[in-house]
Each structure stands twice: as C-alpha cells, then as structure tokens.
Amino acid sequence: MILPELTLSLIKPDAVQKGVAGQIIGRFESEGLRVVACKKLWLTTAQARAFYAVHAQRPFYEGLVAFMTEGPIYALILEGEGAVLRNREIMGATDPAKAAPGTLRALFGDGIERNAVHGSDSPENARIETDFFFSQLERF
Ligand code: IDP
Ligand code: MG
C-alpha cells in the first residue's frame, strides 16, 4: 500500500533571482512528487526568524534570516511516497560543494548559505512547516 507523505519545499531567494524556479518545480514533477500547493511570497524578517527559530542560537542565524528576506521565494507542498526523504535526496547536501552531482543544490547552489532550496527534514517538521505556509483551503 502506498502511503502518501507531504513535505515542505522552499525555493530560496538566490534560485528565484537566477530564474530557475520553474526548472526546480519541473524537477519535482519529473521525480514523481505531486505539487499540492504552491505560492510566491516575500518573507518578512519576523516570518523568517519564526520559520528558522530552531537555528536561533546558531552563528549563521542572522545571516540566514537576511538571505531569506532579500527577495521573493516560492513555497510548495510536495506529496509522494516517502516525500520527505525523496525531496532531501533531490536537494542534495546542505553545502552545494558536498552535494551529489545532479542534485538541486549541486546545480543551483552558490554556497552553504545560498543553497537554492529548503526541504523538511522529518514528517513531524513537514507538518509544522506546511502549516506555517498554507491553510487547508490552499491544498489540492
Ligand atoms: P538543511 O537546509 O540542509 O536542512 P540546516 O542545517 O537545517 O540545513 O540549515 C538551514 C539553512 O541554514 C541551510 O539550508 C543554509 O541555508 C543555512 N546554513 C546551514 N549551515 C550553515 C553554515 O554553516 N553557514 C551559513 N549558513 C548555513
Ligand atoms: Mg534543516
């Protein structure tokens, strides 16, 4: 039996500025992940701080918040069997220099901070993160 799972993907400001958001969404679709929800938005500083609150004590937190608010992003909910892990595989490692060839971060990331995409790291966090960005009325 196939148990569909949901995960949150963000196309970060660097990738949107490069004009590769469409390619990234197409990659998810070609990998068999279904787009349940999608919107373009520009995070406020307060919203970015809240989304990344788990990293508040890390030295890169302020820089990360500044990066994530420098321009618009896309937020997506992706659905598929094992979607959380599948998306993490498609994204590649946090540091694009260490990401496997062909992964989104290897293709489109510029560095450990400006790494093109976000993906939930567990089903529990996927639930929290999808609810952060989307109401039930925005999911199909
Ligand atoms: P992940 O996005 O692969 O799950 P996390 O450790 O959750 O990685 O970090 C969240 C985000 O913070 C990363 O995607 C990246 O943009 C940024 N980041 C992580 N580690 C560093 C670092 O050492 N320096 C600068 N930015 C970092
Ligand atoms: Mg993470």
Q: How confident is the model at residue 50 (pLDDT cuts 50, 70, 90)?
A: very high
CATH number at residue 122: 3.30.70.141
Cβ–ligand 1 contact at 35 (below 6 Å)? no
- pLDDT tens for residues 33-47? 999 999 999 999 999
**What average pLDDT is seen over the chain?**
97
Catalytic positions are: 118
Number of domains the chain contains: 1
Contact 5, 123 (CB under 8 A): yes
112 exposure class (CB count in 10 Å sphere: 0-12, 13-18, 19+): middle
Residue 3, pLDDT > 90, answer no
The closest of 109, 88, 85, 86 to 97, measured between CA atoms, is 109
Residue 52: domain span: 5-138
Ligand 1 mutation pick, 113, 121, 122, 129, max ligand atoms within 8 A of CB: 113
Q: How confident is the model at residue 1 (pLDDT cuts 50, 70, 90)?
A: low
Cβ–ligand 1 contact at 49 (below 6 Å)? no
- pLDDT tens for residues 68-78? 999 999 999 99
Q: Spell out the residues 6+ positions from residue 122 whose beta carbon is closer than 8 angstroms to its own.
A: 84
- pLDDT tens for residues 88-97? 999 999 999 9
| Residue nearest (by alpha carbon) to ligand 1 atom 15 | 113
Interval between CA 93 and ligand 1 midpoint (Å) = 10
Cβ–ligand 1 contact at 93 (below 6 Å)? no
Kind of pairing, strands 34-41 and 117-119? unpaired
Q: Give the pLDDT score at 82.
A: 97
**Alpha helix positions (H), 1-140:** 13-18, 21-30, 45-51, 61-68, 83-91, 104-108, 123-133
